[in-house]
Amino acid sequence: MESLQFLNSYLMKQIMELREQVASLQCSKDHIVLSKMEQVDAEMERMSAAFEQSMEEHIDRTKFESELSLSIVTLVLSSQLSEHEKSSKKCNKERDPLMLDKEERNRFDNRVVFEREIYRRALLKLKKRKTKILELKKEVAELRSTESRLKKSIQELKAKNEGINYMRANAEAKVIELKKQVAQPFVKQVAQLLVTEYHLHNTMQELQGKNEAIDHIRAKQETMTAEMKKEVVKLRVTESHLHSSIQELKKENESINHTRVNQEAKMREFNKEVLQLKAIESGLQSSLKEPERKNKVMDSTRAKHRAKIGKLEKVVVQLRASEFDLQKSCQDLKEANSQLEAYFTDKIVAENEDYQRSFDMQKRREENLKGVIKEKERLNADMKQTLNATCWARNELEQHLYHGEGYFKFLSGVKASLRKRLQSSLSHQKQLESSLSQSYSKIQELEKQNEESEMITAQYVIKVSNLEMCNAKMNQKIKDMTENHNQMLREMKERETYQRANIEELQEEMLWLMFTKFEIQKSLEDIEEEYSQMWNRFNRVEEALNQDIRQMRKVEASALESAGSG
């Protein structure tokens, strides 16, 4: 019972601990999932906002720079073309002699060689300018091609942005699906936990009913043990009464033996007197008829001796028969004693500590029986000694039958000793019979007690087997409960692994998004570098054009000065 109560309390503690662990795991899992989902959402929003802002800034900057560069290029080219047209018109005017006046024509004629040289140099400069213009056209074409490439890259970036937005939408859809997937198993787990809690409540009620039944059985066992104790007390009281009655019987037997001994002593005295009278009468008769008397006496003594010898032989035969019976009874008692010893040893090994006292009493009784058997063996030895003495006496009588009256007193002494020994053997035999009857009664009582103890042990074994069956059922239920709990834990672990795999996939997608973001940033940096290079080239071209314009202006100013001085 105590073990069942301990198991019940232990199971309750385990169930409470498992509930607490499940609740803590559920809370921690919800917290982790929510925190991770919030982190993913925040990171996705931050990345999308940063990417959109960077793309808008890049698009605005590229548009502004492209428009500004195109406007600057168009303005510079238009100004350069207008200036070139003006200078070409002026040169044509200066070179055309028809356009000059008559006064100036003379001057022109004087300066033909110089003008030709100037014209040749101007042609060279024009050729150089044409080559520069071609180079500028090439650079403009290159700028347009770079502009087209930039537009293509912008379109590609827009396509990538659309792909990223599509991926973000997919990621958000996956996040929503993951939230649903995360929520569904938790709902299932909550339902399973409620079902398991209901089953555990039912099992707890069943265990409480079983505990009540076990308490009822324990109360019955306590009542049975109280009744057994009462019966043991009654048996002890009856045993004490039997012991007192046996002692009273022993006292009565001793008094009877004492009276018998007194009667035998009186009979001996009477026989002595009769013998004395017979001796006197025989002496008188012998004095009258000595020879006849002697013959008659010898015949009578022979007949008496023969009768006595026959009686002694009968007694010896009876003693031998009694000795054989005693040997048989001793063997039976030894066999019974050995059987009882084996039986009691088996019972002592099989039974519990509660019946150890009864078996100790049985051992004491067995020791008493052994003492009785030893007394029987001692009496058998005495009987053997008496038989040997009788055989020796018979041999002595057979030897001394023919020796006359001198041995009559010896025979009477031998007779008295034989009577004493027979009386002692009879008293010993009676004592043996009384001790045997007592031992048989004790053996019967022990057998009754053993039967009662066997019945009690059988009932106890049945109750123990029932308790073991109940324990086995409880252990089976406990095993089933533990298996269900382990199955739930395994399912939770599998779901955790699945969620971890989904989280790892999200992390991989995040890494891929980061990588794409890094590539976009790198491509933007490359575009900015190309744009800076183009801007530097444009500045260099613009500086070269400005230098050419300055040189042309200087040449024109020097030509005008030379013309003015001429």
For the entire predicted model, the pTM comes to: 0.21
Q: What's the CA gap between 43 and 175, in Å, rounded?
A: 13
Instruction: Write the secondary structure of 99-119 as one string of H (helix), E (strand) and C (coil).
Output: CCCHHHHHHHHHCHHHHHHHH
In this predicted structure, what is the pLDDT of residue 162? Answer: 75
Tell me: pLDDT of 98 over 50: no
pLDDT at 95 over 50: no
What is the SS3 assignment for 166?
helix
> Alpha-carbon distance 272 to 251, whole Å?
31
Q: Is residue 373 part of a domain?
A: no
480 part of a folded domain: yes
Asked which of 75, 93, 116 is the last residue of a domain, the reply is: 75
Average pLDDT for the chain:
64
Pair 352, 455: CB distance under 8 Å: no
pLDDT value of residue 553: 73
484 occurs within a structural domain: yes
- Output the pLDDT for position 100: 44
Whether the per-residue pLDDT at 99 is higher than 50: the answer is no
How is residue 302 written in tokens? 């022979």
Question: Mean pLDDT throughout 255-284?
Answer: 66
- DSSP letters, 428-477, are HHHHHHHHHHHHHHHHHHHHHHHHHHHHHHHHHHHHHHHHHHHHHHHHHH
Percent of the chain with pLDDT over 90: 0
Note whether residue 14 is domain-resident.
no
Question: Is 341 part of any domain?
Answer: yes
Residues whose CB falls within 8 Å of the CB of residue 337, separated by 6 or more in sequence, listed in order = 366, 369, 370, 373
> What contacts 24+ positions apart, CB below 8 Å, involve 419-428?
419/264, 421/386, 421/389, 421/390, 422/315, 422/386, 423/264, 424/382, 424/386, 425/319, 425/382, 425/383, 425/386, 427/257, 427/260, 428/379, 428/382, 428/383
The answer to whether residues 173 and 89 touch, using CB atoms and an 8 Å cutoff, is no
Q: Which domain holds residue 37?
A: 25-75
Please indicate, yes or no, whether residues 309 and 457 belong to a single structural domain of this protein.
Answer: yes
The answer to whether the Cα torsion of 426, 427, 429, 430 is positive or negative is positive
**Phi, then psi, of 283 in degrees rounded to 5:** -65, -40
Cα separation of 160 and 516, whole Å?
9
Asked whether 111 and 538 are in contact (CB, 8 A), the reply is: no
Amino acid (one-letter) located at 462 = I
How far apart, in whole angstroms, are the C-alpha atoms of residue 305 and residue 42? 141
66 domain-assigned:
yes
What average pLDDT does the segment 171-187 reach?
A: 61
Q: 381 pLDDT exceeds 50? A: yes
Quote the pLDDT of residue 557. 75
Q: Which residues contact 259 (CB under 8 A, 6 or more apart)?
A: none
Give the separation between CA 351 and CA 310, rounded to whole angstroms: 59
Mean pLDDT value of segment 191-210: 66
pLDDT above 70: residue 320 = no
Is the CB of residue 474 less than 8 Å from the CB of residue 207? yes
What confidence score (pLDDT) does residue 389 get? 60
- pLDDT of 179 > 50? The answer is yes
Residue with tokens 């099992």: 203
Highest mean predicted confidence (pLDDT) among 128-142, 168-182, 352-366, 510-524:
128-142
CA 517 to chain centre: 52
Q: Which residue type sits at 58?
A: H
The predicted pLDDT at position 224 comes to 72
Alpha-carbon distance of 316 to 321, in angstroms, equals: 8
pLDDT, residue 96, reads 46
Query: Which of 70-84, 219-233, 503-517 bottoms out in mean pLDDT, i.e. has the lowest?
Result: 70-84
- CA angle in degrees (0–180, nearest 5) for 563-564-566: 65
Quote the distance between the C-alpha of residue 212 and its chain's center: 28
Window from 44-53, 105-114, 445-454 with minimum mean pLDDT:
105-114
Higher pLDDT among residues 218 and 109, named by residue: 218
Domain for residue 91, yes or no?
A: no
Q: Please report whether residue 300 resides in a domain.
A: yes
DSSP letters spanning 498-509: HHHHHHHHHHHH
Which is more confident, 491 or 456? 491
What confidence tens digit (pLDDT) does each residue in 358-379 have? 666 666 766 766 666 676 667 6
Residue range 536-549, pLDDT digits in tens: 776 776 677 677 77
Q: How high is the pLDDT of residue 97?
A: 45
Q: How many domains does the chain have?
A: 2
Q: How confident is the model at residue 251 (pLDDT cuts 50, 70, 90)?
A: confident
Mean per-residue pLDDT for 139-167?
70
In the predicted model, what is the mean pLDDT of residues 63-89? 60
In whole angstroms, how far apart are CA 328 and each of 319, 414, 429? 14, 30, 15
Give residue 212's pLDDT: 75
Could you tell me if 129 and 84 are in contact, meaning their C-beta atoms sit under 8 angstroms apart?
yes
**pLDDT given at position 191:** 62
Cα angle 241-247-250, degrees, rounded to a multiple of 5:
145
What is the structure's pLDDT at 407? 47
Distance of alpha carbon 163 from alpha carbon 509, whole angstroms: 13
pLDDT-based confidence at residue 146 (cuts at 50, 70, 90): low
Residue 237 has pLDDT above 70, yes or no: yes
Q: How many C-beta atoms lie closer than 10 Å to residue 139's C-beta?
A: 16
Structure token digits, residue 522: 């790198």
